[in-house]
Structure 1
Protein backbone atom coordinates (compact mmCIF):
# COMPACT_ATOMS: atom_id res chain seq x y z
CA UNK A 1 0.00 0.00 0.00
CA UNK A 2 1.54 3.24 -1.12
CA UNK A 3 1.50 6.11 1.37
CA UNK A 4 2.64 9.54 0.23
CA UNK A 5 3.57 11.96 3.01
CA UNK A 6 3.55 15.63 2.11
CA UNK A 7 5.32 18.02 4.49
CA UNK A 8 6.13 21.70 3.88
CA UNK A 9 7.09 24.68 6.00
CA UNK A 10 4.49 26.94 4.47
CA UNK A 11 1.05 26.16 3.10
CA UNK A 12 0.45 23.14 0.90
CA UNK A 13 -2.45 22.99 -1.52
CA UNK A 14 -3.73 19.61 -2.67
CA UNK A 15 -6.33 19.47 -5.43
CA UNK A 16 -7.98 16.18 -6.34
CA UNK A 17 -10.71 15.18 -8.75
CA UNK A 18 -13.09 12.28 -8.27
CA UNK A 19 -12.44 9.54 -10.85
CA UNK A 20 -15.58 7.58 -10.04
CA UNK A 21 -18.32 7.76 -12.67
CA UNK A 22 -22.02 7.78 -11.94
CA UNK A 23 -21.78 10.08 -8.92
CA UNK A 24 -24.00 13.10 -8.55
CA UNK A 25 -22.74 16.34 -10.02
CA UNK A 26 -21.95 17.92 -6.68
CA UNK A 27 -19.99 14.89 -5.55
CA UNK A 28 -17.67 15.15 -8.58
CA UNK A 29 -16.63 18.73 -7.84
CA UNK A 30 -12.91 19.13 -7.11
CA UNK A 31 -11.92 19.87 -3.56
CA UNK A 32 -8.90 21.63 -2.12
CA UNK A 33 -7.23 20.83 1.19
CA UNK A 34 -4.74 23.26 2.72
CA UNK A 35 -2.51 22.55 5.75
CA UNK A 36 1.10 22.58 6.96
CA UNK A 37 1.24 18.76 6.99
CA UNK A 38 -0.89 16.31 4.98
CA UNK A 39 -0.56 12.53 5.21
CA UNK A 40 -2.15 11.13 2.06
CA UNK A 41 -2.76 7.49 1.10
CA UNK A 42 -3.18 7.54 -2.68
CA UNK A 43 -4.70 4.05 -2.76
CA UNK A 44 -7.46 4.52 -0.19
CA UNK A 45 -7.91 8.28 -0.64
CA UNK A 46 -7.54 8.81 3.11
CA UNK A 47 -5.74 11.91 4.29
CA UNK A 48 -4.98 13.52 7.65
CA UNK A 49 -4.17 17.22 7.73
CA UNK A 50 -2.91 19.37 10.59
CA UNK A 51 -0.55 22.22 11.41
CA UNK A 52 -0.01 25.36 13.41
CA UNK A 53 -1.80 27.41 10.75
CA UNK A 54 -4.88 25.21 10.88
CA UNK A 55 -6.64 23.35 8.09
CA UNK A 56 -8.91 24.53 5.29
CA UNK A 57 -11.10 22.32 3.11
CA UNK A 58 -12.95 23.77 0.12
CA UNK A 59 -15.40 21.94 -2.14
CA UNK A 60 -17.98 23.69 -4.26
CA UNK A 61 -19.65 26.36 -2.14
CA UNK A 62 -18.55 24.72 1.13
CA UNK A 63 -15.51 25.95 3.09
CA UNK A 64 -14.49 24.31 6.38
CA UNK A 65 -11.67 25.49 8.64
CA UNK A 66 -10.33 23.98 11.87
CA UNK A 67 -7.21 22.60 13.55
CA UNK A 68 -7.23 19.02 12.23
CA UNK A 69 -9.00 17.15 9.45
CA UNK A 70 -9.39 13.45 8.65
CA UNK A 71 -10.93 13.16 5.18
CA UNK A 72 -11.41 10.52 2.49
CA UNK A 73 -11.28 11.86 -1.06
CA UNK A 74 -13.11 8.85 -2.50
CA UNK A 75 -16.02 8.57 -0.07
CA UNK A 76 -16.06 12.34 0.62
CA UNK A 77 -16.60 11.67 4.31
CA UNK A 78 -14.50 13.20 7.04
CA UNK A 79 -14.19 14.82 10.43
CA UNK A 80 -12.75 18.24 11.29
CA UNK A 81 -12.01 19.25 14.88
CA UNK A 82 -10.84 22.28 16.82
CA UNK A 83 -12.78 25.53 16.52
CA UNK A 84 -14.48 24.48 13.31
CA UNK A 85 -16.14 27.05 11.09
CA UNK A 86 -18.13 26.18 7.99
CA UNK A 87 -19.49 28.54 5.34
CA UNK A 88 -21.83 27.43 2.56
CA UNK A 89 -23.87 29.90 0.53
CA UNK A 90 -25.77 32.01 3.14
CA UNK A 91 -25.15 29.56 5.99
CA UNK A 92 -22.43 29.85 8.65
CA UNK A 93 -21.71 27.09 11.15
CA UNK A 94 -19.37 27.04 14.16
CA UNK A 95 -18.76 24.04 16.44
CA UNK A 96 -16.09 22.04 18.25
CA UNK A 97 -16.35 19.25 15.68
CA UNK A 98 -18.01 18.79 12.29
CA UNK A 99 -18.45 15.45 10.55
CA UNK A 100 -19.26 15.46 6.85
CA UNK A 101 -21.23 12.59 5.29
CA UNK A 102 -22.66 11.66 1.89
CA UNK A 103 -20.53 13.96 -0.22
CA UNK A 104 -21.09 16.93 2.10
CA UNK A 105 -24.86 16.61 1.87
CA UNK A 106 -25.08 16.01 5.61
CA UNK A 107 -23.00 17.60 8.34
CA UNK A 108 -23.11 16.60 12.00
CA UNK A 109 -21.90 19.40 14.24
CA UNK A 110 -21.26 18.91 17.96
CA UNK A 111 -20.08 21.11 20.82
CA UNK A 112 -21.47 24.66 21.28
CA UNK A 113 -23.03 24.62 17.83
CA UNK A 114 -24.19 27.89 16.28
CA UNK A 115 -25.87 27.76 12.88
CA UNK A 116 -26.73 31.08 11.22
CA UNK A 117 -28.79 31.35 8.05
CA UNK A 118 -29.83 34.88 7.18
CA UNK A 119 -31.76 36.31 10.15
CA UNK A 120 -32.14 32.87 11.76
CA UNK A 121 -29.72 31.76 14.49
CA UNK A 122 -29.96 28.18 15.80
CA UNK A 123 -27.93 27.01 18.81
CA UNK A 124 -27.70 23.55 20.39
CA UNK A 125 -25.22 20.97 21.72
CA UNK A 126 -25.60 19.04 18.45
CA UNK A 127 -27.07 19.84 15.04
CA UNK A 128 -27.59 17.60 12.01
CA UNK A 129 -27.63 19.79 8.89
CA UNK A 130 -28.77 18.55 5.46
CA UNK A 131 -27.51 21.03 2.87
CA UNK A 132 -29.63 19.81 -0.05
CA UNK A 133 -32.83 20.53 1.93
CA UNK A 134 -31.46 23.36 4.08
CA UNK A 135 -32.78 21.38 7.05
CA UNK A 136 -31.33 21.50 10.56
CA UNK A 137 -32.39 18.88 13.12
CA UNK A 138 -31.77 19.29 16.85
CA UNK A 139 -32.59 16.43 19.22
CA UNK A 140 -31.91 18.26 22.50
CA UNK A 141 -31.96 21.80 23.93
CA UNK A 142 -32.78 23.69 20.75
CA UNK A 143 -32.89 27.48 20.62
CA UNK A 144 -33.91 29.45 17.53
CA UNK A 145 -33.66 33.23 17.37
CA UNK A 146 -35.16 35.06 14.40
CA UNK A 147 -36.82 38.34 13.48
CA UNK A 148 -40.00 37.38 15.33
CA UNK A 149 -38.42 36.33 18.64
CA UNK A 150 -36.97 33.28 20.36
CA UNK A 151 -38.19 29.67 20.34
CA UNK A 152 -36.80 26.98 22.65
CA UNK A 153 -37.76 23.30 22.70
CA UNK A 154 -36.53 19.80 23.47
CA UNK A 155 -36.46 18.97 19.76
CA UNK A 156 -36.61 21.13 16.66
CA UNK A 157 -36.52 20.82 12.89
CA UNK A 158 -35.83 24.04 10.99
CA UNK A 159 -36.39 24.29 7.24
CA UNK A 160 -34.50 27.48 6.40
CA UNK A 161 -35.59 27.74 2.77
CA UNK A 162 -39.26 27.32 3.73
CA UNK A 163 -38.96 29.64 6.75
CA UNK A 164 -40.59 26.95 8.86
CA UNK A 165 -39.67 25.38 12.20
CA UNK A 166 -41.30 22.44 13.97
CA UNK A 167 -40.71 22.35 17.74
CA UNK A 168 -41.59 19.49 20.08
CA UNK A 169 -41.52 19.22 23.87
CA UNK A 170 -41.49 22.08 26.42
CA UNK A 171 -41.91 24.67 23.69
CA UNK A 172 -41.46 28.27 24.85
CA UNK A 173 -41.77 31.41 22.74
CA UNK A 174 -40.71 34.91 23.67
CA UNK A 175 -41.11 37.97 21.45
CA UNK A 176 -40.30 41.27 23.13
CA UNK A 177 -41.10 43.31 20.04
CA UNK A 178 -44.61 41.81 19.95
CA UNK A 179 -45.00 41.65 23.74
CA UNK A 180 -45.74 37.95 23.42
CA UNK A 181 -44.94 34.96 25.61
CA UNK A 182 -46.30 31.51 24.82
CA UNK A 183 -45.82 27.82 25.58
CA UNK A 184 -47.13 24.46 24.37
CA UNK A 185 -46.24 20.82 23.85
CA UNK A 186 -45.83 21.29 20.11
CA UNK A 187 -45.47 24.29 17.79
CA UNK A 188 -45.00 25.08 14.12
CA UNK A 189 -43.54 28.46 13.20
CA UNK A 190 -44.15 29.93 9.73
CA UNK A 191 -42.00 32.92 8.84
CA UNK A 192 -43.43 35.86 6.92
CA UNK A 193 -43.55 35.61 3.12
CA UNK A 194 -44.54 38.17 0.45
CA UNK A 195 -48.24 38.88 0.94
CA UNK A 196 -48.43 36.55 3.93
CA UNK A 197 -47.67 37.37 7.57
CA UNK A 198 -45.86 35.04 9.91
CA UNK A 199 -47.71 32.83 12.37
CA UNK A 200 -47.19 30.24 15.10
CA UNK A 201 -49.51 27.26 15.59
CA UNK A 202 -49.40 25.93 19.16
CA UNK A 203 -50.96 22.58 20.09
CA UNK A 204 -51.18 20.72 23.37
CA UNK A 205 -51.52 22.76 26.58
CA UNK A 206 -51.23 25.94 24.53
CA UNK A 207 -50.87 29.13 26.55
CA UNK A 208 -50.19 32.65 25.31
CA UNK A 209 -49.92 36.09 26.91
CA UNK A 210 -49.82 39.19 24.72
CA UNK A 211 -50.23 42.80 25.85
CA UNK A 212 -51.35 41.45 29.23
CA UNK A 213 -54.16 39.36 27.73
CA UNK A 214 -54.11 35.61 28.35
CA UNK A 215 -55.56 32.86 26.18
CA UNK A 216 -55.44 29.13 26.88
CA UNK A 217 -56.62 26.34 24.56
CA UNK A 218 -55.85 23.05 22.91
CA UNK A 219 -54.76 24.74 19.67
CA UNK A 220 -53.83 28.41 19.26
CA UNK A 221 -52.78 30.14 16.05
CA UNK A 222 -50.94 33.39 16.71
CA UNK A 223 -50.64 35.85 13.80
CA UNK A 224 -47.49 37.88 14.32
CA UNK A 225 -48.37 41.19 12.64
CA UNK A 226 -52.08 41.49 13.45
CA UNK A 227 -51.66 40.26 17.04
CA UNK A 228 -54.73 38.13 16.32
CA UNK A 229 -55.41 34.66 17.73
CA UNK A 230 -57.50 31.76 16.44
CA UNK A 231 -58.40 29.11 19.03
CA UNK A 232 -59.96 25.66 18.80
CA UNK A 233 -61.13 23.28 21.50
CA UNK A 234 -62.07 24.41 24.97
CA UNK A 235 -60.65 27.92 25.32
CA UNK A 236 -60.21 30.38 28.17
CA UNK A 237 -59.49 34.06 27.63
CA UNK A 238 -58.56 36.61 30.28
CA UNK A 239 -58.60 40.24 29.11
CA UNK A 240 -56.46 42.66 31.06
CA UNK A 241 -58.28 45.86 32.09
CA UNK A 242 -57.22 48.96 30.18
CA UNK A 243 -56.05 52.01 32.09
CA UNK A 244 -58.09 55.17 31.73
Structure 2
Protein backbone atom coordinates (compact mmCIF):
# COMPACT_ATOMS: atom_id res chain seq x y z
CA UNK A 1 0.00 0.00 0.00
CA UNK A 2 1.37 3.39 -0.93
CA UNK A 3 0.68 6.72 0.70
CA UNK A 4 -1.36 7.95 -2.27
CA UNK A 5 -3.80 5.10 -1.67
CA UNK A 6 -5.39 6.74 1.36
CA UNK A 7 -4.31 10.30 0.58
CA UNK A 8 -7.35 10.52 -1.72
CA UNK A 9 -9.26 11.64 1.37
CA UNK A 10 -7.36 14.91 1.11
CA UNK A 11 -8.77 15.43 -2.37
CA UNK A 12 -12.23 14.68 -1.00
CA UNK A 13 -11.78 17.27 1.72
CA UNK A 14 -10.70 19.88 -0.82
CA UNK A 15 -13.73 19.14 -2.97
CA UNK A 16 -16.15 19.49 -0.05
CA UNK A 17 -14.46 22.71 1.00
CA UNK A 18 -14.74 24.14 -2.50
CA UNK A 19 -18.37 23.05 -2.68
CA UNK A 20 -19.00 25.04 0.47
CA UNK A 21 -17.14 28.04 -0.92
CA UNK A 22 -19.05 27.84 -4.19
CA UNK A 23 -22.28 28.22 -2.23
CA UNK A 24 -21.06 31.62 -1.12
CA UNK A 25 -21.55 33.08 -4.61
CA UNK A 26 -18.43 35.17 -4.55
CA UNK A 27 -16.29 33.77 -1.76
CA UNK A 28 -12.63 33.23 -2.44
CA UNK A 29 -10.25 35.08 -4.72
CA UNK A 30 -11.97 34.04 -7.94
CA UNK A 31 -15.43 35.21 -9.05
CA UNK A 32 -18.31 32.77 -8.72
CA UNK A 33 -21.01 32.31 -11.36
CA UNK A 34 -24.47 30.95 -10.56
CA UNK A 35 -26.81 29.69 -13.30
CA UNK A 36 -30.27 28.17 -12.75
CA UNK A 37 -33.76 28.17 -14.24
CA UNK A 38 -35.00 30.20 -11.25
CA UNK A 39 -33.02 32.37 -8.83
CA UNK A 40 -34.50 34.30 -5.91
CA UNK A 41 -32.59 36.69 -3.63
CA UNK A 42 -34.00 38.23 -0.45
CA UNK A 43 -31.80 41.20 0.41
CA UNK A 44 -33.40 41.49 3.88
CA UNK A 45 -32.63 37.94 4.99
CA UNK A 46 -29.60 37.42 2.77
CA UNK A 47 -31.02 34.13 1.43
CA UNK A 48 -30.36 33.10 -2.17
CA UNK A 49 -32.39 30.23 -3.65
CA UNK A 50 -31.67 28.64 -7.03
CA UNK A 51 -33.82 25.84 -8.43
CA UNK A 52 -33.69 23.51 -11.45
CA UNK A 53 -30.51 22.95 -13.47
CA UNK A 54 -28.32 24.71 -10.92
CA UNK A 55 -24.69 25.20 -11.90
CA UNK A 56 -22.08 27.06 -9.88
CA UNK A 57 -18.62 27.80 -11.25
CA UNK A 58 -15.53 29.11 -9.49
CA UNK A 59 -12.16 28.70 -11.19
CA UNK A 60 -11.85 25.05 -12.22
CA UNK A 61 -14.56 24.00 -9.73
CA UNK A 62 -18.07 23.08 -10.92
CA UNK A 63 -21.01 22.21 -8.63
CA UNK A 64 -24.28 21.10 -10.22
CA UNK A 65 -27.61 20.06 -8.67
CA UNK A 66 -31.34 20.64 -8.74
CA UNK A 67 -31.58 23.13 -5.86
CA UNK A 68 -29.18 25.39 -3.98
CA UNK A 69 -29.86 27.58 -0.94
CA UNK A 70 -27.32 29.94 0.63
CA UNK A 71 -27.59 32.42 3.48
CA UNK A 72 -25.08 35.23 3.01
CA UNK A 73 -25.42 36.26 6.66
CA UNK A 74 -24.94 32.87 8.35
CA UNK A 75 -22.65 31.47 5.60
CA UNK A 76 -24.75 28.29 5.57
CA UNK A 77 -25.91 26.57 2.40
CA UNK A 78 -26.99 23.38 0.67
CA UNK A 79 -26.99 21.85 -2.79
CA UNK A 80 -29.43 18.98 -3.33
CA UNK A 81 -30.61 16.63 -6.05
CA UNK A 82 -28.08 14.60 -8.02
CA UNK A 83 -25.12 16.75 -6.94
CA UNK A 84 -21.99 16.63 -9.09
CA UNK A 85 -18.82 18.39 -7.92
CA UNK A 86 -15.81 18.60 -10.25
CA UNK A 87 -12.38 20.12 -9.65
CA UNK A 88 -9.66 19.29 -12.13
CA UNK A 89 -9.37 15.49 -12.29
CA UNK A 90 -11.48 15.14 -9.13
CA UNK A 91 -15.18 14.23 -9.52
CA UNK A 92 -17.66 13.62 -6.69
CA UNK A 93 -21.34 12.67 -6.85
CA UNK A 94 -23.90 12.53 -4.02
CA UNK A 95 -27.47 13.53 -3.23
CA UNK A 96 -26.71 16.53 -1.03
CA UNK A 97 -23.86 18.81 0.05
CA UNK A 98 -24.33 20.89 3.20
CA UNK A 99 -22.07 23.73 4.36
CA UNK A 100 -22.45 25.04 7.91
CA UNK A 101 -19.88 27.69 7.10
CA UNK A 102 -16.08 27.42 7.02
CA UNK A 103 -16.02 24.94 9.93
CA UNK A 104 -18.05 22.02 8.55
CA UNK A 105 -19.08 20.60 5.16
CA UNK A 106 -20.98 17.36 4.60
CA UNK A 107 -21.81 15.15 1.59
CA UNK A 108 -24.79 12.80 1.97
CA UNK A 109 -26.34 9.97 -0.02
CA UNK A 110 -24.32 7.55 -2.12
CA UNK A 111 -21.16 9.63 -2.00
CA UNK A 112 -18.71 8.52 -4.67
CA UNK A 113 -15.56 10.23 -5.84
CA UNK A 114 -12.82 9.53 -8.34
CA UNK A 115 -9.46 11.08 -9.14
CA UNK A 116 -7.43 9.39 -11.86
CA UNK A 117 -7.05 5.74 -10.70
CA UNK A 118 -8.29 6.40 -7.18
CA UNK A 119 -11.82 6.31 -5.74
CA UNK A 120 -13.77 6.61 -2.49
CA UNK A 121 -17.30 5.54 -1.58
CA UNK A 122 -19.42 6.22 1.51
CA UNK A 123 -22.98 7.00 2.51
CA UNK A 124 -21.97 10.19 4.33
CA UNK A 125 -18.74 12.18 4.54
CA UNK A 126 -18.15 15.02 7.01
CA UNK A 127 -15.25 17.43 6.62
CA UNK A 128 -13.96 19.82 9.31
CA UNK A 129 -11.25 22.01 7.71
CA UNK A 130 -10.50 23.91 10.91
CA UNK A 131 -9.95 20.73 12.94
CA UNK A 132 -6.68 19.67 11.34
CA UNK A 133 -8.58 18.82 8.13
CA UNK A 134 -10.58 16.10 9.85
CA UNK A 135 -12.67 13.77 7.63
CA UNK A 136 -15.29 11.37 9.04
CA UNK A 137 -17.22 8.54 7.34
CA UNK A 138 -19.43 7.57 10.28
CA UNK A 139 -21.36 4.97 8.28
CA UNK A 140 -18.28 3.35 6.78
CA UNK A 141 -16.40 3.77 3.57
CA UNK A 142 -14.15 2.36 0.89
CA UNK A 143 -10.93 3.94 -0.40
CA UNK A 144 -9.09 2.27 -3.26
CA UNK A 145 -6.73 2.60 -6.20
CA UNK A 146 -4.92 0.21 -8.53
CA UNK A 147 -2.64 -0.91 -5.67
CA UNK A 148 -5.33 -1.90 -3.19
CA UNK A 149 -8.52 -1.26 -1.21
CA UNK A 150 -9.11 -0.18 2.41
CA UNK A 151 -12.58 -0.62 3.96
CA UNK A 152 -14.08 -0.26 7.44
CA UNK A 153 -17.47 0.12 9.12
CA UNK A 154 -16.32 3.56 10.33
CA UNK A 155 -13.51 5.62 8.85
CA UNK A 156 -11.90 8.87 9.87
CA UNK A 157 -8.73 10.77 9.07
CA UNK A 158 -6.61 13.79 9.91
CA UNK A 159 -5.41 14.95 6.52
CA UNK A 160 -2.63 17.30 7.68
CA UNK A 161 -1.09 14.48 9.70
CA UNK A 162 -1.63 11.84 6.99
CA UNK A 163 -3.23 9.76 9.74
CA UNK A 164 -6.33 7.56 9.18
CA UNK A 165 -8.33 5.15 11.32
CA UNK A 166 -10.81 2.43 10.38
CA UNK A 167 -12.88 0.64 13.04
CA UNK A 168 -15.25 -2.29 12.68
CA UNK A 169 -14.32 -5.02 10.20
CA UNK A 170 -11.30 -3.05 8.97
CA UNK A 171 -9.85 -4.72 5.89
CA UNK A 172 -6.89 -3.95 3.65
CA UNK A 173 -6.27 -5.77 0.36
CA UNK A 174 -3.20 -5.08 -1.81
CA UNK A 175 -2.97 -7.52 -4.74
CA UNK A 176 0.05 -5.62 -6.07
CA UNK A 177 1.90 -6.46 -2.82
CA UNK A 178 0.35 -9.94 -2.53
CA UNK A 179 -0.82 -8.84 0.91
CA UNK A 180 -4.08 -8.79 2.84
CA UNK A 181 -4.75 -7.76 6.43
CA UNK A 182 -7.65 -7.07 8.75
CA UNK A 183 -8.82 -6.54 12.31
CA UNK A 184 -11.40 -4.88 14.50
CA UNK A 185 -9.38 -1.68 14.22
CA UNK A 186 -6.81 -0.55 11.66
CA UNK A 187 -4.75 2.64 11.85
CA UNK A 188 -2.61 4.14 9.10
CA UNK A 189 0.32 6.50 9.71
CA UNK A 190 1.68 7.96 6.49
CA UNK A 191 4.47 10.14 7.85
CA UNK A 192 8.12 9.04 8.20
CA UNK A 193 8.49 5.40 7.15
CA UNK A 194 4.76 4.77 7.19
CA UNK A 195 2.97 1.91 8.92
CA UNK A 196 -0.39 0.22 9.37
CA UNK A 197 -1.40 -1.18 12.77
CA UNK A 198 -4.20 -3.79 12.97
CA UNK A 199 -5.66 -4.58 16.39
CA UNK A 200 -8.34 -6.91 17.75
CA UNK A 201 -8.55 -10.30 16.02
CA UNK A 202 -5.80 -9.01 13.75
CA UNK A 203 -4.47 -11.08 10.87
CA UNK A 204 -2.22 -10.64 7.88
CA UNK A 205 -1.36 -12.76 4.85
CA UNK A 206 1.64 -12.12 2.62
CA UNK A 207 3.21 -14.50 0.10
CA UNK A 208 1.08 -17.38 1.43
CA UNK A 209 2.32 -16.76 4.98
CA UNK A 210 -0.39 -16.15 7.58
CA UNK A 211 -0.01 -14.35 10.91
CA UNK A 212 -2.63 -13.86 13.63
CA UNK A 213 -2.31 -11.77 16.77
CA UNK A 214 -4.12 -9.21 18.88
CA UNK A 215 -1.86 -6.58 17.29
CA UNK A 216 0.01 -6.67 13.99
CA UNK A 217 2.15 -3.85 12.58
CA UNK A 218 2.88 -3.54 8.86
CA UNK A 219 5.81 -1.28 8.03
CA UNK A 220 5.76 0.42 4.62
CA UNK A 221 9.09 0.86 2.88
CA UNK A 222 9.80 3.99 0.84
CA UNK A 223 9.63 1.92 -2.35
CA UNK A 224 6.03 0.95 -1.51
CA UNK A 225 6.83 -2.59 -0.33
CA UNK A 226 5.39 -3.88 2.94
CA UNK A 227 6.92 -5.85 5.81
CA UNK A 228 4.64 -7.60 8.30
CA UNK A 229 5.73 -7.92 11.94
Distance 1:69 1:153 in 2: 32
Distance 1:227 1:190 in 2: 13
**How far has the Cα of 1:89 moved from its partner?**
7.6
Alignment of 1:208 onto 2:204: yes
**Aligned position for 1:129:** 127
For residues 131-163 of structure 1, what are the alpha-carbon distances to aligned partners after superposition, in whole Å with 9 as ceiling and x for unaligned?
Answer: 454432101131111464111111101334443
Point out the structure with the larger strand share: 1
Point out the structure with the larger helix share: 2
Aligned residues: 202
Cα contact 1:71–1:77 (8 A) shared by 2: yes
Structure 1: unaligned runs, 5 residues or longer: 1-14, 19-25, 231-244
CA RMSD of aligned residues (A): 2.9
**Aligned position for 2:219:** 223
**How far has the Cα of 1:35 moved from its partner?**
1.5
Distance 2:74 2:219 in 1: 46
Cα contact 2:93–2:113 (8 A) shared by 1: yes
Structure 2 vs 1, CA of residues 207 and 165 (structure 1 numbering), >3 Å: closer, same or farther?
A: same
Aligned residue runs from structure 1 range 6-45, under 5 A: 31-45=32-46
Cα contact 1:117–1:160 (8 A) shared by 2: no
Structure 2 vs 1, CA of residues 167 and 183 (structure 1 numbering), >3 Å: closer, same or farther?
A: same
Structure 2 vs 1, CA of residues 94 and 214 (structure 1 numbering), >3 Å: closer, same or farther?
A: same
Structure 2: unaligned runs, 5 residues or longer: 1-23
**Aligned position for 1:199:** 195
**Aligned position for 1:114:** 112
In the superposition, the TM-score normalised over structure 1's length comes to 0.71
Distance 1:160 1:91 in 2: 17
Distance 1:124 1:110 in 2: 8
Structure 2 vs 1, CA of residues 221 and 148 (structure 1 numbering), >3 Å: closer, same or farther?
A: farther
Distance 1:226 1:62 in 2: 35
Higher-RCO chain (CA-CA 8 Å, sequence separation at least 6): 2
In the superposition, the TM-score normalised over structure 2's length comes to 0.75
Structure 2 vs 1, CA of residues 164 and 120 (structure 1 numbering), >3 Å: closer, same or farther?
A: farther
